[in-house]
Amino acid sequence: MLKTTLAGLRAHKLRLLLTGLAITLGVGFIAGTFVLTDTMQTGVNEKFARSADKVDMAVLPKDAEKQLPAALLDRVRAVPGVTDAQGTVRGDAVLIGRDGKAVGNMPTAGISVPSGRLLRYEIERGRPPAGPAEAVLDTETAEREKFTVGQTITVLDHRQRPHRFTVVGLADFGIDTQASMRGAVGFDAATTMRVTGKRTYREIDIAGPADRAAVAAAAGPGAEVLTGEQLGERLAAAAGADTKLIRAGLLIFGLVSMLVSALVIYNTFAILIAQRMREMALLRCVGATRRQLFGGVLIESAVVGLVGSLLGLAVGLGLGAGTVALLGGPDAQIPTYGLTLAPRTVVLGLLIGVLVTMVSAVLPARAATRVAPVAALRTDLEPGTDRFRLGWARLAVAVLCGLPGLAVLGYGGTVMEKGQSAMFVVAAGSGLAFLAVTALMPALVRPLGRVAGALPARLAGVPGRLAVENARRSPRRTATTTIALTIGVGLMTMFAVLGASVTATADKKLAEEFPVDFQLETQWGGADEQRIPHALATRLRALPQVAAVTEQREQEVRVGGATGRAEDGIVGTLTASSLGTVLKPEFTSGALADLRPGTVAVTDMTARSQGLRIGSTVRMQTRQGPLTLKVVGTTGMDGPVPPYLVTEADFDRYFGVRDASVLYVNARDGAAGEGARAAVEAAAKPYPTVRVTSAAEIKKQFTEAIDMMLVIFAALLGLAILIALFGIANTLTLSVVERTRESALLRALGVTRRQLRRMLSVEALVMALIGAVTGVALGIAFGWASVTAMTDEIVFSLPYPRIAAFVALAAVAGTLAAVLPARRAARTSVVEALSHD
């Protein structure tokens, strides 16, 4: 039996290749993910190891939130065997660009750059800084801002005072993730302290053959001493967290691809077994047992899985190599030094591919054992209409999964408290509902095929009507073929619904609660001193183009609520005349009119975390002592509302008059165009860290971020859809062989080659439409449940153009998938086909 199976595989090499192609794509994606992330991790490890090799020992605080005192550096230098010790200083050092504004959305990092052996950063051009007027820039920032060695730059210190420095070098700070994200300016240690305002060290690096125990004794109990190798491992582990996150995300889509591949493989083997009925019956006639037939099909599936997995490993290696090439090699933000193909990748790729293929072939293999020997005597093996009936097993699965799935979906979307837990419940309900639809899919094929094929059948004439009937004649086969496409289109539709709903919610909130023309703010994550001077607000109010200026002022304090748990909270206020007029925060309970001296309004999230409601009291520490406020309302999180909103008079009384963190500017009627924008920017020009954005720009940035997310999801899910479309092509290819005599009879009755090709194209179109429409329906349902589980304030929105595009693309792709099978059918000789046995 083994020889017979292997001989059959050798005789049908093309069939073997076509069958294994779905596994090749799925394994290729998973293997490519591991190759990419392993290569990235190896590059990170090597780069950090190279850096840490320059350090014999490093002293770090045990508590990552704390710093090392400056006096510790002298004690470490006094340890016998220490030849050099340098402290690392880090803080904010705002770089001013050529346009006179601060570079980036976050303050540039100010980092001390040592000289000598302990220089861990690579100076790509020039030299390290050696005086109070010298600095180095990270290479990427220098290229982006058009700075080079020898030029003069301006940097703001921690008090926003400008200082000028000469650029003496360009450095690669790639071992520092914050520097890579924010950009960096490097100085010597003393200058870094002066610019950043820091008086402590983040780390002390040591060179020399000193005793580790002696260094630890000098460092004290609040610090830990690491060797250079241990330091490199810790830094690499911290930087490698991104690699693990990338791997986890990509593997999710890889597993979706493998699920789709399994469906394609199952359908392919089911068709192959049906086509080889006479072959199986003849084997039974010559003495093959049912167990041997079952084993033979499993052996065939194992060979297919092995071949597909080996090809998949090659494809994955190619995908990894292509992605690594795009990353840019050793100079990239995540360095790479050649490809890494770990033994684990090979083992997992082969194991997953073979197991998925064999599991997918179990049911078709069982069907092979039921072939009676008498079937070998039949002369008519053309496929007939599948008289499908919804059996008790499918009905049981549909009921046991569908009803609980719908109940869980409804509970998570409408009853549970909105948030992450509700979304997990919705995900579980979606999975159950999908299983129910999968069980019912064969029963849905004929009515869906009639609807999907109504227009093509009318436009394509007799070939079109035949194609629709062919798509409906084998519900099980069509259902298994189309459910793979349903998965991909359904997930894409769900993400599109989520994106459209989040965007619609943002638009609604901007219109209702953020009716301003311009917003002025400083860089994110900057020092507390980075606020907008009150003088700028006064200057803006004097402009003839400006109708209203709202100041949002905030203070971080220690707050305790009904839970009795104290936590850091942000208390803020808005200009009194703007509340209820320019800015209208939406109150979910209480009202803005209730906000008076001695009271506070809190956001819904704050109320939930602190157990607050109307009438509760909030206790906070102010510079004047403890303060107790009464809660009079709760607000949504959207819009310019701080977690704890108090009146302007109370804020000034408790925290003092302080500059604003954000300014909101409304232009006068007729002046909201470029004239008002130019006037506002001119007023803000003397303040380099203040950035002017319009409501339209904020909306555009948000929309672009959502669109980019959807593009990424669509690209990742595209592989699953590609495999599903290949499943359609594979099904049609095998069906062409199966219906060889039927096609020849149609040709003999006058059907032309063009009409035969049209018939198969319409058949593929109908199958693609069945899968796409089902996927869209499920995607909309799951998207609605996910949206309603996120928050009470979200607006459900259907992206009609995107959904229509998904269906149209699926239809076009399905039609293209039929090109090769249709050509094969049209080229077959009528005489040879009629004699086909």
Q: pLDDT, tens digit, for every residue of 17-47?
A: 666 777 887 788 788 888 877 777 777 667 6
Per residue in 116-158, pLDDT (tens digit) is: 888 888 889 999 999 899 999 999 899 989 999 999 999 999 8
Per DSSP bridges, beta strands 662-667 and 518-521 are antiparallel
* Lowest-pLDDT range of 93-97, 247-251, 416-420, 757-761: 247-251
Q: Work out the burial of residue 723: count CB atoms within 10 Å of its CB; fewer than 13 is exposed, 13-18 middle, 19 or more buried.
A: buried
Cα torsion for 673, 675, 677, 679, to the nearest 10°? -160
Q: Which of 314, 354, 233 is nearest to 35 (CA)?
A: 314
Q: Which of 803, 798, 750, 747 is nearest to 775 (CA)?
A: 803
Cβ atoms of residues 678 and 569 within 8 Å: no
**In terms of domains, do 456 and 495 share one?**
yes
Q: Which residues lie closer than 8 Å to 235 by C-beta, 6 or more apart?
A: 48, 51, 52, 175
How far is it, in rounded angstroms, from Cα 8 to Cα 279?
11
For residue 564, the enclosing domain spans 533-686
> Residue 139 has which token pair?
């290479």
How far is it, in rounded angstroms, from Cα 454 to Cα 118?
76
**pTM exceeds 0.95, yes or no:** no
**In terms of domains, do 656 and 559 share one?**
yes
**In terms of domains, do 93 and 222 share one?**
yes
Q: What pLDDT score does 290 carry?
A: 76
Q: What pLDDT score does 381 carry?
A: 46
Q: Which of 189, 192, 179 is nearest to 141 (CA)?
A: 179
**In terms of domains, do 327 and 214 share one?**
no
Determine the Cα angle at 143 with ends 196 and 319, to 5°: 110
**At 623, is the pLDDT very low, low, confident or very high (cuts 50, 70, 90)?**
confident
Mean per-residue pLDDT, 503-531 = 74
Q: Which of 199, 181, 31, 172 is nearest to 113 (CA)?
A: 172
> Residue 88 has which token pair?
């690392």
**In terms of domains, do 649 and 539 share one?**
yes
Residue 392 is assigned to a structural domain of this protein:
no
**In terms of domains, do 506 and 574 share one?**
no
Residue 487 is assigned to a structural domain of this protein:
yes
Residue ranges in 411-474 assigned as alpha helix (H): 420-452, 454-473
How far is it, in rounded angstroms, from Cα 277 to Cα 299?
18
Average pLDDT, the chain: 82
| Residue type, position 99, single letter | D
How far is it, in rounded angstroms, from Cα 102 to Cα 681?
14
**Placement of tokens 């090699």 in the chain:** 329
**In terms of domains, do 35 and 180 share one?**
no
SS3 content of the chain, % helix, strand, coil (to 5): 60, 15, 25
Per residue in 748-784, pLDDT (tens digit) is: 777 788 888 888 888 888 888 998 999 999 999 998 9
Q: What pLDDT score does 224 carry?
A: 93
How far is it, in rounded angstroms, from Cα 745 to Cα 756?
11
Helix (H, G, I), strand (E, B) or coil at 754: helix
**In terms of domains, do 679 and 716 share one?**
no
User: 742 vs 346, which has greater pLDDT?
Assistant: 346
**At 245, is the pLDDT very low, low, confident or very high (cuts 50, 70, 90)?**
low
Q: What pLDDT score does 382 carry?
A: 47
Domain count, the chain: 4
Residue 735: its H or E element: helix 695-738
Q: Which residues lie closer than 8 Å to 114 by C-beta, 6 or more apart?
A: 86, 120, 128, 188, 189, 205
Residue 429 is assigned to a structural domain of this protein:
no
Residue 388 is assigned to a structural domain of this protein:
no
Per residue in 685-734, pLDDT (tens digit) is: 999 989 888 877 777 777 777 777 777 777 777 777 777 777 777 777 76
Q: What pLDDT score does 371 carry?
A: 65
Per residue in 583-598, pLDDT (tens digit) is: 888 888 999 999 999 9
Cα torsion for 695, 701, 702, 704, to the nearest 10°? 140
**At 535, is the pLDDT very low, low, confident or very high (cuts 50, 70, 90)?**
very high
Q: What pLDDT score does 2 carry?
A: 57
Mean per-residue pLDDT, 452-462 = 84
Helix (H, G, I), strand (E, B) or coil at 446: helix
**In terms of domains, do 108 and 209 share one?**
yes
Given 214, 240, 266, the domain boundary residue is: 240
End-to-end distance of the chain based on CA atoms, in angstroms?
Answer: 23
Q: What pLDDT score does 795 carry?
A: 84
How far is it, in rounded angstroms, from Cα 346 to Cα 330?
25
Determine the Cα angle at 746 with ends 742 and 747, to 5°: 115
Given 240, 269, 304, the domain boundary residue is: 240
Most trustworthy range by pLDDT among 74-83, 237-246, 297-306, 714-723? 74-83
Residue 398 is assigned to a structural domain of this protein:
no
How far is it, in rounded angstroms, from Cα 630 to Cα 348?
60
**In terms of domains, do 712 and 769 share one?**
yes
Mean per-residue pLDDT, 280-306 = 77
Given 216, 240, 264, the domain boundary residue is: 240
**In terms of domains, do 659 and 800 share one?**
no
How far is it, in rounded angstroms, from Cα 5 to Cα 19?
15
Per residue in 665-681, pLDDT (tens digit) is: 988 876 656 688 889 99
**In terms of domains, do 351 and 462 share one?**
no
Cβ atoms of residues 112 and 203 within 8 Å: no
Residue 156 is assigned to a structural domain of this protein:
yes
| pLDDT higher than threshold 50 for residue 351 | yes
Strand-pairing partners, residue 559, are 567, 620
Query: In Å, how far are 411, 413, 512 from 796, measured between CA atoms?
Result: 17, 12, 17
How far is it, in rounded angstroms, from Cα 667 to Cα 680?
9
Residue 796 is assigned to a structural domain of this protein:
yes
